[in-house]
Chains A and B, each alone.
Chain A
Amino acid sequence: MNAVFYIAAAVAVVSTIMVISRLNPVHALLYLIVSLMAVAMIFYLLGAPFAAALEVIIYAGAIMVLFVFVVMMLNLGPQTVAQERGWLTPDMWWGPSLLAAVLLAALVYVLGSGGEVSVGSRAVDSKAVGRALFGPYLLGVELASLLLLAGLVGAYHLGRRSPDPQQRRGEE
């Protein structure tokens, strides 16, 4: 069954590389949805079906739909792709990529030197997660609800269509 994990991991890595290298925002969003689906598959293999369902419903469903709505509202034309092509030159990306690759090599060395442990033999179902959420983590749930309320108020305040700056300057 390890083959399923390696296939899902390869799909996740390749589609994430496509996300950060695409020029068109909508193509990047679609590749990111593929990547999230692959990670949901890995959650299921890890014995976390609740997290897998949340990944598909909230990440791939709700958050990506928000991104698609904003890209639609901005109404970006082909000149955006040309602008992106001008920004994404090799001398722009090779420095950060090289440094990140060095960090990743160190991380892989540290993680690979540990003992071989297999996970996923025992599933943690949604009942156990619910008992933990509303038991010892109750304060965290309240704080998360407060954070979501703050996000709602902030998005409402920032999302108002403000009057045109030139028009406002004319009134002054």
Chain B
Amino acid sequence: MATVPLNGVMILAGILFMLGLVGVLVRRNIIFMLLSVEIMLNAAGLAFVAAGSRWGQADGQVMFVFILSMAAAEVSVGLALVLQLYNRLKTLDTDAAARMRG
């Protein structure tokens, strides 16, 4: 069975999380912001699985399953909100939603 260094996996998870964070901060298109949130959730799942694999326990993968179901619920509600935003404002600019009322 192959082995990989734990430090390397954790650093990779950190790099992917930071890339997702930069994506959320930099992009103004709401679809790209949702994609970047997915990248961050995926990086957190990678860290959980690596830590679970370090001790040979299943808890890391259990947490990954929970993160996955949370991401699915978040994406379904988020994309429905994107469709509503586009129907009303005819743009995907997040700044346009600042003038939203009631």
Contact = CB atoms under 8 A, between A and B. Distances in A.
Interface of A: 1-2, 4-6, 9, 12-13, 16-17, 19-20, 25, 28-29, 32, 35-36, 39, 42-43, 45-48, 50-51, 54-55, 58-59, 62-63, 66-67, 70-71, 73-74, 76, 80, 84, 87-88, 92-93, 96-97, 100-101, 103-104, 107-108, 111-112, 114, 116-124, 128-129, 131-133, 137, 140, 144, 147-148, 150-152, 154-155, 157-159, 161-162, 165
B14 A111 contact: yes
Interface residues of B, number: 71
Secondary structure at chain B's binding surface: helix, strand, loop or mixed? helix
Nearest to B31: A25
A19 B86 contact: no
14 contacts: A5-B5, A13-B12, A36-B42, A46-B9, A48-B60, A80-B92, A88-B26, A92-B26, A96-B26, A100-B25, A104-B15, A159-B83, A162-B88, A165-B88
B17 to A, nearest CB: 9
Contacts, number: 243
A61 B62 CA distance: 20
Contact of A119 (B3, B18, B20, B86): B3
B80 A154 contact: yes
